[in-house]
Structures are given as structure tokens and as C-alpha cells.
Amino acid sequence: MEKIVMAGVGYVGLVTGVSLAQTGKHVICADISEMKIAQLEEGISPIYEPGLEEMIQQNAEKGTLHFTTDMRAAYAQADIIFICVGTPEESDGSASLKFIYEVAEDIANYARENTLIVMKSTVPVGTNRQVIDYINARRNAEEQLEIVSAPEFLSQGTAVKDTLEGSRIVLGVETLQAEKRMREVYAGFHQPFVVTDLVSAEMIKYASNDFLALKISFINDIANLCEILGANIDGVTSGMGLDPRIGKAFLNAGVGYGGSCFPKDTKALYRLAEDAGYKMRTVKAAIDVNQAQIYKLLHRAEADFGSFAGKKVAVLGLTFKPNTDDLRESPGIWNVLELVKAGANVTVYDPVGMENARRVLGDRVKYAESAVAGIADAEMCFIFTEWQEIVALTSQDFSGKMRRAHVYDGRNCFDIAEMNDVHYVSVGRPERQIGQLELLK
């Protein structure tokens, strides 16, 4: 059985490595972070993902999953190396390849002959060819190593299922032998293969993410127009989503997308196109709409209250989506920072993201122990993540606990007709004023 090394155990590397171990492969998860590896050796997942920690413990106990900080020793015994390090955004919007080339340098120096390199990180089109040329140019060996582009399509919150039972496995390969080895690696994964060349595989990843970002920005643009014209975005998306050419996914109006992928990948593709002499106007539109949408409800509340200075504000939901502890590019965090800057007294709550929030926000805000505690005595409440605990709140919770029941719902969590005795503002739907009696259903 071939020995697989995951170079980097961030979100993608850890979920992929654990999923491969789950199907019986021999996997070594390697990372330079001593803290991460120490946690993993104790059976603790450094990231929140439903079901992942149990799988870590099970496969470590079975002996199919191992952890190390000795990257070079790991590369020296690997048959297949998955590159899973981050490609953070540069100041100009392009993707930084610093960590990719650090791994490539070590692979060139320590990997043995016939090692297959698999690029799992999201990288600009053309990077796989550049990386494998870089590795082979530095190797003191006659044999040339091969690279495969195998982009990931996992979604945080459902990452394990997406990895094991996703919609497709994309492989960008240059030889039949590389394809054969990768099909063996993914034996046990229940999804079809799309086999193509390196460049097309790289483009599939960017095109997929940017299309979904564009779909989100489009429906948010429609929601904003619904508010002006008096339409209800809920009915509009219901009618649109039943069309199989459109589908229901990613038609939820709100305060925009966040996370580690969509914001970074839209900017990276736009910059990549610019460098190639082409302007991707649709991608630029998605970026611009999202940037404005993030602060939509903040501007509305400011118009209602005049100023945030000295106001007691509750913020429910800090992660960029439910079922993750990831705060990267989260609309909730961006809005909290603006509220603090404006002089508001902010209390925050998130069912899973509080530990990360404390690292980001420090003592600039107060931290509640529950959603109900978070809204106590607040003059206004913002909702930025549709966690089940937050969605379970009732109009009586808001009207009974808050000093002034003004709710600005960035994820359309509640039925407008049920928000009695609450000044309720959502996205793309009619407002509900306190005391409003007309039937809204």
C-alpha cells in the first residue's frame, strides 16, 4: 500500500487526510505547527467540523493515521505527497505561493524516486507546471517527478461528506500512470472522476468557486431591487429555484459571502485575468456587490438610530456560515469592527466561534454565554449567521429581553409574520414595524 503524506493540516489537508485514512489508506499528516500536531496526537481536532474529531480518533487507533512535525522525514518515506498549504491573498488580490514553494523546495531535496506530487491547494492557473518544473530542476536525479492537480470542493460544515461522497473528483494529469495511481488513492470514494489536463483542472476550481460567488451576489442584487419595488425575495427565489437550470443552492439572500475561499478566489481570478490582458467583468461585479452587501444592515440601522455611539448592540453569529468555527472574511466580524469603531457597546455570541472571536476581537467587545443572554437589554440586534440556536429565538425573546426590539437579520432567519412587537428588518423582504397588524403571510 502506498504511503500518503499530507503537507499541511489546515482545513483541506486534515479533512482530506482523515477521509483517506477512513478508506483504509496509510496517511501521515505533516505540519510545522507543533500545537496542531500535539492536539491531533491527543485526538483533538484543531478545527471544528462535525464528525471529524471522531474520525481522527478512530483512524489513529486503527493505525491508518499518523501525525508529525518532521516534514522532511515524512517526504522521505512518502509514495504520494498532497500539497495542502495555504495560498493567502496578496495586497494586489493575487494568490501568494510562498508556502507552496517552501514545500516544493523540501520535496525537491528529500522526496524519493517515483513520488507522485498532488496539488490540493487552490493555485492560479499554470502553477502546477511551474511547481513541478521547479522541483525537478532542483533534484539531483535522472527521473522526473510527476504532479497531479486535484482541486478540493469541500464545504465547511459538510466537509467530510463532501470529501467522501461529493459531486466529483477532478484530476489534472499528464500520464496514464499518474491517473491510475490517483484512482487507486480515491478507491472507496463514491463520486465520478473528471480527468483532464493540469491547466483545465486548475481552471475548474476557480470557475466553480467564482460562479457560486457570482450566484450569491446576483441574488443579493435582486433582493435589493425587491426592497425598492415591493417584492419579497422569498417568493422570488422559490420560483427561480424550481427551475432545474437554476437550482435552489446559493439562492439565499443576505449580507454576502465570507470564508477562506470565495473572497480570495474571486479576487485571484480577476487579477489572473487582468495579468493575461482580459477583464472579467462578471467576477468584478460579484466582488463589488458583495463588498457593499456586507454592511447593508449596518447602514440601515445607522439611518434608524442616527448614531451607534454609546448604543448597546447585540451581534448574534460571528462565523461566516453555520457548522464551522471559521471567522475568516466573516461579515459578522467586519460589522463588529465597524460598530466598535463607531463607539457602540457590543456584546457578541456565536455557538462555536467564541474562542476564535476572542483572539480576533479581544477586549473590545463583551461575550455572552447564549443567544438569549446576548440580546439582554440591547437596543438593537444584528444577526449574521443562521445557527440553529439563533433561528430558534422567538419574537417574544426579542421583545421581552431587549431594551428596544430592533432586529436586523442578515440571514433572513425568521418568518416576517411571526415577528410580533419587533421592528424587524431583513434582506429583500418587507419590514415588520412594531405594532403592525396587517397579515404578512
- Residues annotated as part of the active site: 261
CB 295 within 8 A of CB 333: no
Q: Confirm or deny that 205 is annotated as ligand binding.
A: yes
CA 290 to chain centroid, in Å, comes to: 15
Residue with cell 460562479: 211
Q: Confirm or deny that 254 is annotated as ligand binding.
A: yes
**369/398 Cα distance (integer angstroms):** 16
Q: Confirm or deny that 252 is annotated as ligand binding.
A: yes
Residues ≥6 apart with Cβ < 8 Å to 63? none
CB 281 within 8 A of CB 294: no
Q: Confirm or deny that 31 is annotated as ligand binding.
A: yes
Q: Confirm or deny that 371 is annotated as ligand binding.
A: no
DSSP letters spanning 278-320 = ---HHHHHHHHHHHHHHTHHHHHHHHHHS--TT-EEEEE--SS
CB 187 within 8 A of CB 23: yes
**206/391 Cα distance (integer angstroms):** 32
Q: Confirm or deny that 36 is annotated as ligand binding.
A: yes
Within 13 A of 397's CA, how many CA atoms are on the CB side?
16
CB 289 within 8 A of CB 220: yes
**410/223 Cα distance (integer angstroms):** 12
**406/394 Cα distance (integer angstroms):** 13
Q: Confirm or deny that 145 is annotated as ligand binding.
A: no
Residue 217 sits at φ, ψ, to 5 deg, of -65, -35
Grid cell in block for residue 313: 448592540
Within 13 A of 96's CA, how many CA atoms are on the CB side?
11
Q: Confirm or deny that 122 is annotated as ligand binding.
A: yes
Q: Confirm or deny that 87 is annotated as ligand binding.
A: yes
Residues ≥6 apart with Cβ < 8 Å to 55? 18, 19, 21, 22, 160
Cα torsion 284, 286, 287, 288: sign = positive
Q: Which of helix, strand or coil describes residue 337?
A: helix
**257/245 Cα distance (integer angstroms):** 22
Grid cell in block for residue 436: 403592525
Q: Confirm or deny that 250 is annotated as ligand binding.
A: yes
Binding residues: 31, 36, 87, 122, 205, 250-254, 258, 264, 321, 328
Binding residues for NAD(+): 31, 36, 87, 122, 264, 328
Binding residues for substrate: 205, 250-254, 258, 321
